[in-house]
Structure 1
Amino acid sequence: MTGIEKHDVMRVSDADRNGTLRRLHNAVALGLIDIEEFEERSAAVARARLHSDLDALVGDLPGPGAIVTSAADRVELRGVLGSLKRHGEWTVPSRLALHRRMGSVDLDLTRARFAGPMVVIELDLKFGGLELRLPDGASASIDDVEVAVGSAHDHRRDAPAEGTPHVILTGKVVCGSVDIRGPRKSWFKRG
């Protein structure tokens, strides 16, 4: 008998049942299952005796470590005139919408934490630009950025085509630019 087969015939604990219920709660919150299906599956969780019983109830749902985006993972940053800056340690949502008029946006993701392996940045910039700093190993796509009177350019040398995180930029920039750069280089090297 392999390790997987042994797992299937092992009895479940209350902690196992609670973990399965958490996955079901998340599935309802994300709209993957409805309330009626949640109630049916929850009742079956209470009756489950073996791991195979629990696995059958959540086999069609994302795993406990999976990153699933919802509307709550989308953050909008709006403003007129002036600049918007995010630096240091901050959490980058799965979707970030930037709406700026006559102002610049400076996002430094080099020390940021990411909600998932992919970030979508929606642009609506008029008379302003975006400077985006990415950590080493990150990839970016600017193919879906529409620019009118301006530019969109990845200035990094040897930027990976597929890296982690992968940042996808979409939307429109009017009279402005999108500049993607790597981490800032220190003038002083530490030994």
Structure 2
Amino acid sequence: MTDEKSSSGDGAEDVPPEDMKASHADRDQVVEILRDAAGDGRLTTEELEERVAAALAARTIDDLAGLTRDLPVSPSPTDPSTWSEDVVEINQRFGTLHRSGSWEVPRRLDIRMHGGDVKLDFTEAVISHDVLDLDAYVSVGGNLVLVVKPGIEVVTDDVTVGVGEVKDRTLSSDGDVPVVLRVNVAGRIRGGDVVVRHPRRTLGQWVRGESSV
């Protein structure tokens, strides 16, 4: 009798993404992100040296993800500044995918993020469609954060969250504002949260008791 499990390659499917072994390419990519961040003034020389050493010694994807989670990724062929098509696909490893300002919202946005957070700020976005289908797969403890203003409705019924949870902090505050954009979120978030919130108040707004939107 043969042991079918020993001959199958399916065992890796049971390994959480954060525990997967890091490759040389993974380490090299993180080192490149770190060096770009230092060149932009985000890391000191000492921080760069410390993180590069940690990246070269990293054994798992989770080890690498922690070194870049607070850093944006340098421009690439999938740089969000080029988003203008009706359908946009983003496949990124490490760093933080962050879009804010007057970016153009597509009809459909497919995101695959491995080893970092995704933050989409819609408060100043250019909205040309009334519906955005957002299909997101975020692994290794990453979070999906959607910053919205009244009039932007987020539906999370079709997204699956592993260890984390869905936190919608806008449900009781938007009142009867007409909906100008409906964001339908689907996909899977493994290990992190889905957070829907309004922008945080500035210090001046906080002192004056003003709303952020």
Kept in 2, the 8 Å contact 1:140–1:169? The answer is yes
How far did 1:186 drift? 2.6
Please list, as runs of the form range in 1=range in 2, the aligned pairs for 1:8-23 lying within 5 A after superposition: none
Question: Is 1:172 matched up with 2:188?
Answer: yes
| Equivalent in 143, 161, 181 of residue 147 of structure 1 | 161
Where structure 2 has 5 or more consecutive residues not aligned to the other structure, the ranges are 1-84
Does the residue aligned with 2:89 lie in a helix, a strand or coil? strand
1:185 counterpart residue number: 201
1:123 counterpart residue number: 136
Aligned length: 120
2:78 counterpart residue number: none
TM-score (normalised: structure 1): 0.58
Bigger strand fraction: 1
2:179 counterpart residue number: 163
TM-score (normalised: structure 2): 0.52
1:24 counterpart residue number: none
Considering only aligned residues, what root-mean-square deviation do their CA atoms show, in Å? 2.1
Within 2, Cα distance between the matches of 1:154 and 1:107? 14
Residues 98-140 of structure 1: per-residue CA shift (max 9 Å, x gap): 1001101111110001230111110111121111101222111
How far did 1:160 drift? 5.6
Kept in 2, the 8 Å contact 1:136–1:183? The answer is no
Residues 47-85 of structure 1: per-residue CA shift (max 9 Å, x gap): xxxxxxxxxxxxxxxxxxxxxxxxx51101121111111
Deviates more, 1:152-161 or 1:177-186: 152-161
Letter in 2 for 1:168: N
Percent identity, aligned pairs only, is 31
Find runs of 4+ consecutive structure 1 residues off by over 3 angstroms. 159-162
1:108 counterpart residue number: 121
How far did 1:181 drift? 0.5
Within 1, Cα distance between the matches of 2:145 and 2:107? 19
Within 1, Cα distance between the matches of 2:186 and 2:193? 13
